[in-house]
Amino acid sequence: MLCFLSIQKIKLQCQLNNHCEITHKTRNLCSACRLKKCFALGMNPQLIRRWSYNQLKSKHERLVINKNKNNRQLPMPSSLCLLNNDRSNLTIDEWNLFSNIIHAYDEANIIPQMKYHLEQQSLLPPKLRLNPSKSILIFKVLLSTLLPFIERSSYFHDLSIHTRQILIQNNSEIAGTLNSIFVMREINALDNMAFITSCTSIYGDEVIKHSVQLAARLETNGILVKIMILILAFSTNCSIINPYYSGSTMNLSSALSVLNIQSMLVTMFWKYLIYHYGFSGAVRCFNHLIKSVLDILYSANEMR
C-alpha cells in the first residue's frame, strides 16, 4: 500500500509544470510544488515522521471504534441517505459505479489549480498576462485530463488493447471537447479577458464564440456532465469523421463488449436521473445533455 512507502518513493506530480505559486492560501492546491518549496527552504527529509505498520493499524482501529460509538449515538439518517433509505431503482452495484465514476474524475481534478492560475494572471500588468503560448499550454492541460479519467475505469482495462486504441481514436475529440468546455466553465475562463484575448489571437473569433455558446448551454449539474463524458468515451464511435481504414473499425465481438459497457453506464445514469428529477425531469435533463453533445458535433464540423 502507498501509505507504507517512504517519502522518497512517493511521486508527486504538478499539473502546471512546477510553476505553482505556493502561499498560505494556495498551499493545499499542489502537493508537489508545496513539497518542493519546503525542501528549498531547508526542510530535512530525514526528520519526516514515518509511520510503522503497527502504528497505522492501531490508529485505524481507534478510528473504527470511535466511528462505531458515534454511529450508536446518532439517530437513523433521513430519507436523503442514498443506501440506507434508498427509494431509487438503482442497485448497490449501480450506486458503486456512480460513486466510482465521480471519484475517478475528481482524483485528478485540476479545476482549483486552473482557476487560481487564471486569477493570478489577471492580477499581473497587461504585458505580463497570458500570452499565446500559455493559452496553448492551458488547452493541452485540459485535453490531457480525459485519458487518465478513462483509464481509471476498470471496464476500460477489460477491453483488448486494440479496442482501447479505437475508442480513444474515435471518441477523444468529442469527449475531450465536452470535458474542456466543462472545465472552462467551472474555472470561469470565458469570463477572463486576458484568456479570451490570447485565445482569439490563436484560434479566431468564431472558435471563441462557439465555445462561449456551448458553455452557456451546458448542463449546470457537473456530476451529470462527468458521467456523460464517460458514456461518450465508451461509444463505438461518436466522431464526425468516418474512418477510412480498417484499423479504426471494431470487430463484432469488440463492438458488443463496448455496447455492453455503455448500456450499463446509460442504465445507471437514467435511473439516477429519475431518482433525482422524476421521470419528466429526467427526460428533459437527458434531452438537454444529448443536445449539448450534438451542439459540440455541429460546432466541430463547422470549424473544420
User: What domain range includes position 151?
Assistant: 94-100+111-302
Q: Is the dihedral of CA 248, 249, 251, 253 positive or negative?
A: positive
Spatial separation of the C-alpha atoms in residues 288 and 300, rounded to whole Å: 18
Q: What is the pTM of this model?
A: 0.68
Residue 153 lies in a domain: yes
Residue 14 lies in a domain: no
Closest CA to 117 of 135, 144, 143: 135
Residue 9 lies in a domain: no
Q: Name the amino acid, one letter, at 154.
A: S
CATH number (domain holding residue 254): 1.10.565.10
Closest CA to 87 of 73, 77, 74, 102: 77
Which residues, including other chains, have CB under 8 Å from residue 165's CB and lie 6 or more apart? none
Cell of 188: 470561469
Residue 24 lies in a domain: no
Please state the φ and ψ torsions of residue 188, each to the nearest 5 degrees: 60, 35
Residue 70 lies in a domain: no
What pLDDT tens digit does each residue of the chain (304 aa) get? 434 334 344 455 676 777 777 777 677 677 778 778 777 777 776 666 555 555 555 666 676 666 565 554 444 433 344 444 456 788 999 999 999 999 999 887 888 888 887 788 777 776 666 677 777 788 788 888 888 899 998 899 999 999 999 898 888 888 998 999 999 898 888 888 878 887 888 888 888 888 889 999 999 999 999 999 999 999 888 776 655 554 567 788 888 999 999 999 999 999 999 999 999 999 999 999 999 999 988 887 776 6
Q: How many domains are contained in the chain?
A: 1
**Size (the chain), residues:** 304
Whether the Cβ atoms of residue 293 and residue 224 lie closer than 8 Å to each other: no
Which residues, including other chains, have CB under 8 Å from residue 124's CB and lie 6 or more apart? none
- Provide the b/e sequence for 208-218 (b: ≥16 CB within 10 Å): bebbbebbeeb
Residue 2 lies in a domain: no
